[in-house]
């Protein structure tokens, strides 16, 4: 049957369906937030509008990009899993994650032994840390959490000596203003205990040489092996690429360091390392569906 012979309403439906498909493939897409790692920026179950043009359009069924652009520090972006259970599965067919970009190609981050960014306060007021307090102070803290309207805050750990909760930089600031002066709410990992375990990590950039050190050799090797597609291995803290000892490596792609707001959620670069430019889908722009009506059409920041 020719299209010209179809009823007008069927033609309109076909055109509308094609238009929606093209917009979804070429311009924007909707993402349902799969976990609570990005609270308080976005919440689990919310639907987010993602712009596919933010970093250059990724050609459908490919990792090539049109008018490729780099993400910026602070962007909340959608990306494909860089470390899937099936490494041979095409990038565009892998599961999607959402997180905040804290390191762009060529940046240097200070990371501790657990790959936590130590200068987190410069990144986002929503970035969370773990804090401990005495069990006897639980009722006081819970009452204040409820009074201040701090949402989705559950015990992260407890024992006879200390209870543990996670708070964002902003939440901690507000709590300290209202808590009694003798209330001790302190970071679980103090800065002076971390200083000896903090090292500099250069985020790989296309065409730029990155030196190899004992603390970054594992990340370097995994990135070269899985994303640069070169045979690589580590022996005695030394990197070997194509069977040769390498003091440095020049990368062929741009990479990013992406984190969750909540340190309890490790679906980020702490788990899978550097995220290639080719895996980026787009930038999260607006909340379009949420159980909290007050958040509808709120810009994602």
How far apart are alpha carbons 47 and 31 in whole angstroms? 5
- Kindly indicate the confidence band of residue 239, based on its pLDDT and cuts at 50, 70 and 90: very high
16-26 mean pLDDT: 46
Looking at domain 120-194, which of 3.90.930, 3.30.70, 2.60.40, 3.40.50 is its CATH number? 3.30.70
Using the predicted structure, report yes or no on whether residue 193 has a pLDDT greater than 50. no
Which residues in the chain are classed under CATH 3.30.70? 120-194
Using the predicted structure, report yes or no on whether residue 4 has a pLDDT greater than 70. no
How far apart are alpha carbons 262 and 128 in whole angstroms? 5
- Of the listed ranges 4-18, 139-153, 259-273, the least confidently predicted one is 4-18
- Give the other-Cβ count within 10 Å of 161's Cβ: 8
Cis before 40? omega within 30: yes
236-255 mean pLDDT: 94
Name which of 187, 57, 183, 178 is nearest 120 in CA terms: 187
Which residues in the chain are classed under CATH 2.10.109? 9-102+270-295
How far apart are alpha carbons 11 and 5 in whole angstroms? 9
User: Which of 21-30, 232-241, 279-288 reaches the highest mean pLDDT?
Assistant: 232-241
How far apart are alpha carbons 299 and 196 in whole angstroms? 39
- Give the other-Cβ count within 10 Å of 34's Cβ: 14
Using alpha carbons, list the distances in angstroms from residue 8 to 12, 15, 16, 17, 19. Answer: 6, 11, 12, 14, 16
Using the predicted structure, report yes or no on whether residue 6 has a pLDDT greater than 70. no
pTM above 0.75?
no
267-295 mean pLDDT: 87
The strand pairing partners of 129, in sequence order, are 167
The architecture that CATH gives domain 9-102+270-295 is Ribbon (2.10)
Residues sharing a CB contact under 8 Å with residue 251, sequence separation 6 or more, in sequence order = 204, 205, 206, 207, 208, 210, 223, 224, 228
């Amino acid at each position: 049957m020719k299209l010209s012979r179809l009823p007008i309403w069927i033609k309109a439906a076909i055109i509308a369906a094609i238009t929606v498909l093209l917009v979804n493939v070429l311009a924007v897409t909707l993402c349902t937030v799969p976990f609570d790692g990005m609270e308080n920026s976005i919440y689990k179950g919310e639907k987010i509008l993602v712009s596919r043009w933010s970093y250059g359009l990724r050609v459908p069924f490919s990792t090539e990009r049109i008018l490729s652009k780099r993400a910026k520090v602070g962007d909340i972006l959608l990306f494909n899993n860089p470390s899937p259970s099936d490494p041979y599965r095409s990038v565009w067919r892998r599961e999607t994650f959402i997180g905040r970009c804290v390191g762009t190609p060529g940046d240097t981050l200070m990371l501790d032994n657990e790959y936590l960014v130590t200068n987190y306060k410069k990144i986002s007021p929503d970035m969370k840390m773990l804090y401990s307090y005495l069990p006897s102070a639980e009722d006081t803290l819970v009452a204040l959490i409820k009074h201040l309207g701090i949402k989705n805050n559950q015990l992260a750990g407890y024992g006879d000596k200390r209870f543990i909760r996670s708070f964002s930089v902003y939440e901690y600031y507000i709590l300290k203003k209202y808590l009694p002066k003798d209330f001790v709410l302190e970071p679980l990992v103090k800065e002076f205990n971390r200083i000896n375990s903090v090292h500099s990590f250069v985020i790989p950039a296309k065409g730029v040489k990155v030196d190899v050190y004992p603390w970054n050799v594992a990340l370097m090797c995994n990135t070269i092996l899985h994303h640069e597609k070169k045979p690589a291995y580590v022996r005695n803290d030394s990197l070997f690429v194509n069977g040769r000892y390498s003091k440095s490596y020049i990368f062929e792609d741009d990479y990013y360091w992406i984190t969750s707001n909540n340190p309890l959620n490790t679906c980020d670069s702490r788990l899978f390392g550097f995220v290639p430019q080719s895996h980026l889908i787009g930038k999260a722009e607006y909340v379009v569906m949420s159980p909290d009506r007050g958040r509808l059409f709120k810009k994602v920041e």
